[in-house]
Amino acid sequence: MNFKTGLATVMLFVPVVSYAGAREELMAIEAAKSGVPVTVTAGVTAPPPAGLPESLMALPDGRRADMKDYAMVLFMQSHCQYSAKFDPQLKRWADQHNIRVYPYTLDGGGDAAYPVPMIPRKTDPAAPIADEIMTFFGNGLPIATPTAFVVNVNTLKAYPLMQGVMEIPALESRWASLVQADMDNLDPGMLPPMPASSQLTPQ
């Protein structure tokens, strides 16, 4: 998806919802977050049964979730070897499941998977850190790439998905578990932290 054309006039720098400005959406996400909901899960999610609409994903408990209700916000850097390695795999997986990915660059550049990412902006020029970075990393998660979040586009609740390179089966299993937790309105404090990865580049 080219974020500089087509959607640019409507979305500008939007990370979540299709028809609103990014700053408003990010402020809403920040206001909606009551904590940093995270989870870890074992196993691999089964592929959706044949005949399901393309936007539906089968969850571990047998329910199906519409991926139109969710999006991914990805933080990457053009000089991050791990983003360069992981982003193409992530893009293929997201495209396969019709999951919208909104990439943000921390160093101003893109990579092969996301050549024209969005750039985090400051509403207040005197602020020490850009709005989008504060919104997603403001609860103490280290600023590093690649890092991705699951966002419910209806409630604007954000969940840390992964930080550092993750195998795609593990990513898919974690995504499905986070969506399932979101559907069940689980208390963020009840969810364990993300699995650690050493394959990341600090900001």
Going across the sheet that includes 158-163, the strands are 100-105, 70-76, 147-152, 158-163
> Is it the case that residue 193 has pLDDT exceeding 80?
no
Q: What is the CATH number of the domain that holds 171?
A: 3.40.30
Please report whether residue 2 resides in a domain.
no
169-181 mean pLDDT: 91
Please report whether residue 145 resides in a domain.
yes
Please report whether residue 47 resides in a domain.
yes
Per-chain mean pLDDT for the chain: 77
pLDDT digits (tens, 9 = 90+) for 145-171: 999 999 999 998 999 999 999 999 999
pLDDT digits (tens, 9 = 90+) for 79-119: 999 999 999 999 999 999 999 999 999 999 999 999 999 99
Tokens of 85: 């390695």
> Is it the case that residue 123 has pLDDT exceeding 50?
yes
Residue 10, classed as helix, strand or coil, is: helix
39 in Cβ contact with 191 (< 8 Å): yes
Please report whether residue 133 resides in a domain.
yes
What is the number of structural domains in the chain? 1
Please report whether residue 138 resides in a domain.
yes
DSSP track, 112-132 = SS-SS-B----SSTT-SS-HH
Query: Which H or E run includes 84?
Result: helix 81-96
Span of 13-22, 65-74, 175-184 with lowest mean pLDDT: 13-22
C-alpha distance from residue 7 to each of 12, 66, 109, 150, 180 (Å): 7, 22, 20, 21, 29
pLDDT of residue 125: 86
**pLDDT grade for 31, boundaries at 50, 70 and 90:** low
Q: What percent of the chain has pLDDT over 70?
A: 72
**Which residue type is seen at 84?**
A
The alpha carbon dihedral of 99, 104, 106, 108 has a sign of positive
pLDDT digits (tens, 9 = 90+) for 51-79: 444 778 888 788 899 999 999 999 999 99
Residue at token pair 């990915």? 101
pLDDT of residue 24: 54
- pTM, full prediction: 0.73
Tokens of 132: 């989008």
Please report whether residue 110 resides in a domain.
yes
Please report whether residue 1 resides in a domain.
no
pLDDT of residue 84: 96
Its domain, for residue 87, covers 8-202
**Which residue type is seen at 123?**
T
Please report whether residue 173 resides in a domain.
yes
> Is it the case that residue 49 has pLDDT exceeding 60?
no
Structure-model confidence comparison of residues 111 and 11, the more confident one = 111
26-52 mean pLDDT: 41
